[in-house]
Amino acid sequence: MPDTFAITVVFIILCTILGAFFRRRSRDRCLLDFSNDLVNLERKDGKIIWGKLRVENTGLELVYNSPYLDKKDGHIETSYILYKNEYPNIQCLVRYLDELTPEGKKSRQTTLEKTYHPNTMRRMKRKVRNFFATVRDSVMEFLNLFLGRLKTATPARAVLSTQDKYISQIKQQLLGTLGTSFEPLLEKHLGKRVILEMTREKGIVEYSGILKDYTSEFLEVMDVEYRYPPEESSRKADLVVPRSIGTIRHLGE
């Protein structure tokens, strides 16, 4: 007779370890590309927050270069936190080239060159990711079928029948990791100059840049001549824009 308590402890530990791994893997790729860089976060209400970006699977944080005194309420702030459920408030994230460190500029240039001319390994990694995104539902059906068969087998039946809660957690975590977006129309234009349409309060604005990446929630476009507010001079920048207000409308040159 199996030791149910010991088996439950093992499943809890396994679920915790896999959960930590899957949560780390589930952070948005477009946001991660700006991680540890100085970034402007533009909100839809017009407010702009500036700081070094940290990205987690539950949201993002902008760490200020120096403490900020909120004169209205009289307290000091050192960072700004935006939770994932607040992402609909994002207008865009802007990384200005002239605000990067020398190391940051070098890293960005390397990334841009790899985007223009991806090597074989980079292409293969992309194809594997897209494959799993495409067959996500099939993978989950296979897991359900496989686990269902195990539950009817002996001695696995006695073990798995008491661990449905933890098995479901592991499956959901795996599903989140496989939940990357695959868009054939965008995929073939990666590394090419495109025209991004961004919906702002006063209408649609177009920006020309290099399509670096996309996820189910965001578009990442590099090498943009960007200005905001409109009266400011344009500056070279990279953008991350929510797909809810951003659309790749044209192929550029």
User: Percent of the chain scored above 70 by pLDDT?
Assistant: 71
In the three-class reduction of DSSP (H, G, I as helix; E, B as strand; rest coil), residue 236 is classed as strand
Which pLDDT does position 121 carry in this prediction?
Answer: 83
Q: Which long-range contacts (CB under 8 A, 24 or more apart) does 87-90 make?
A: 87/59, 87/217, 87/242, 88/242, 88/244, 89/43, 89/44, 89/45, 90/41, 90/42, 90/43, 90/44, 90/242
Specify whether the CB–CB gap between 133 and 181 falls below 8 A. Answer: yes
Q: What is the pTM of this model?
A: 0.77
pLDDT tens for 98-140 read: 999 999 999 999 999 998 888 888 788 887 777 766 666 566 6
55-69, 127-141, 176-190: segment of lowest average pLDDT: 127-141
pLDDT tens for 214-246 read: 998 999 999 999 998 888 899 999 999 999 999
Give, as one character, the DSSP assignment of residue 37: S
- Positive or negative, the CA dihedral 33, 36, 37, 41 is positive
Which pLDDT does position 229 carry in this prediction?
Answer: 83
Domain ranges for the chain, please list them. 4-27+122-178, 33-118+191-251
